[in-house]
Amino acid sequence: MTTNEQLERHLTLSAAVAVVVAEVIAVGIFLAPSAMIGLLGSPLAVFGVWLGMGLMALSGALTYAELAVRYPRAGGPYVYLREAFGRDAAFLYGWMSLMVMDPGVTAALALGLSEYAAYALSLSVLQAKIIAVGSILLLAGANIFGARMGASTVKTLAALKVLLIIVIVAWSFGSGAGNWSHFAGAAAGPPGHSFWASVGGAFVLAFFAYGGWWDLSKLAGEVVDPARTIPRALVLGIGMITLFYLLLTAAFLYTVPPGQGGSGEAFGAEVGRRLFGASGARIVAGMVVVSIVGSMAGVLFAAPRVYFAMGRDRLFLPAIGRLNSRFGTPVAAIGIQAALASVMVAWSTFAQLVGYFVFVAVIFIGLGAASVFVLRKRVSRPVAYLAWGYPLTTVVFLGCVVGLAGLLFIDNPIRSLVGLFVVALGWPARRLMERAGRERRPSERTAGRGDAVC
């Protein structure tokens, strides 16, 4: 145990922006544009969706920034739910994050990384799995051996990611490999889809491409001057992400006409072939690997702070809320996430499991934002930062969240209900842990007195 059991405040503005950029920009931007064009049939409509989702993300970020300034400590949404709605709501969020969502997302990123690495390097399935697990353990190790090392890793990967984006955009337009007439073209939308269904599908894709910016709030306990740094970092980060998404989409459209090149990985491969020739698909695959590694680093850096906060509150194993005396990091929290993610990598159907909890995760994100309404009425002390445009910005973001949750439920109500049921099982788990804690504390106090005498 360290002396004061407090995480060190070391994240400057540049590091905080790097966390946002590194975690959000992953493989989605390489897959979403072609799918969105297929849904909307118009390049200009795709740009409109990116801008619209950027504004919605900014609305949510302004709300989360106020919450992070109100409670500048580790845990983010977990803390806001606890303060606004009680310990049970906070535990259920942490339960879902710890047991399924965070390790599942980490494993998904690791497997995506291994698939692109296998393509670029012609690896076997076993070699790809080893790379997936190895990447998790290496990035977890960087976070364990010091919060500053973890932050430096995220900053380096974010800078490399930005550099690669600039290279792709500059090469796309500078090489003359495309044609400006592609922006006037249109691809036929999917048959049988209404206009609003297509727009809704495109916004769902865009929402997930922007997902993860709220994780900066989980690191609020490590941000230098949070009242100034967190709002600026979220605004700058989301602004940069929106700009990069617009530029990359424009580069892709300039290179490949709408409706051509296929979708998903095939579209990325076609972009690479047109830009870099026969080896272009492998080059783009390497760029995607770097992008995914940056996102993994961000998730492994931010997510364990939730479990650390749960341990500090004794809502989970107390050991998970302790800092290592040598490194000053929540080693147990980081280790649990890395271990569970590594196990999930070996489980080929885990991606389907994670899909069951996306609906619930979206609800918790919305509840985290909605807690600002409760806390503004309940807590009267002055706050150094108040969300700009409140309550309109918060309402706009919550409207987006409600719409997304509705689309997810309509798409697969059974999966959504199963996810809700499994998360609800956390309630009896909390009761059991609470009972075990009450039974353990008398013996702990006795042991403590004995140690003091010695």
pLDDT in tens, 216-262: 999 999 999 999 999 999 999 999 999 999 999 999 888 887 766 66
Query: 443 lies in a domain?
Result: no
- pLDDT given at position 191: 52
Percent of the chain with pLDDT over 70: 89
- pLDDT given at position 38: 82
- pLDDT given at position 389: 92
* H-state helical runs in 71-194: 77-85, 87-96, 102-121, 125-144, 147-174
Query: From CA 208, how far away is CA 392, in angstroms rounded?
Result: 23
Other Cβ atoms less than 10 A from the Cβ of 137: the count is: 17
- pLDDT given at position 158: 92
Q: Are 344 and 103 within 8 A, CB to CB?
A: yes
- pLDDT given at position 33: 85
Q: Find, among 11, 6, 7, the residue nearest to 22 by Cα.
A: 11
pTM of the shown model? 0.88
Query: From CA 113, how far away is CA 130, in angstroms rounded?
Result: 11
Q: Quick one: tokens of 245?
A: 């998404």
- pLDDT given at position 261: 61
Q: Are 68 and 230 within 8 A, CB to CB?
A: yes
pLDDT tens digit sequence for 85-107: 999 999 999 999 988 888 888 98
Percent of the chain with pLDDT over 90: 44
- pLDDT given at position 44: 87
List, for the chain, all residue ranges whose pLDDT scores fall below the cut of 70.
1-5, 185-194, 259-265, 348-354, 436-454
Query: 239 lies in a domain?
Result: yes
Query: 454 lies in a domain?
Result: no
Query: 444 lies in a domain?
Result: no
Query: From CA 57, how far away is CA 213, in angstroms rounded?
Result: 8
Q: What is the CATH number of the domain that holds 402?
A: 1.20.1740.10
Number of folded domains that form the chain: 1
Residues pairing with 220 in the sheet: none
Query: 168 lies in a domain?
Result: yes
Q: Are 8 and 332 within 8 A, CB to CB?
A: no
Query: From CA 210, how far away is CA 217, in angstroms rounded?
Result: 15
Query: 5 lies in a domain?
Result: no
- pLDDT given at position 277: 83
Q: Find, among 101, 67, 143, 95, the residue nearest to 310 by Cα.
A: 95
Phi and psi for 11 in degrees, rounded to 5? -85, 110
Q: Find, among 8, 22, 86, 9, the residue nearest to 293 by Cα.
A: 22
Query: 159 lies in a domain?
Result: yes
Query: From CA 123, how far away is CA 126, in angstroms rounded?
Result: 8
Placement of tokens 């490399």 in the chain: 160
pLDDT tens digit sequence for 431-452: 877 776 665 555 444 444 333 3
Q: Quick one: tokens of 72?
A: 């500048």
Query: 6 lies in a domain?
Result: no
- What single-letter amino acid sits at 218? K
Q: Quick one: tokens of 147?
A: 């919060």
Structural domain of 87: 13-438
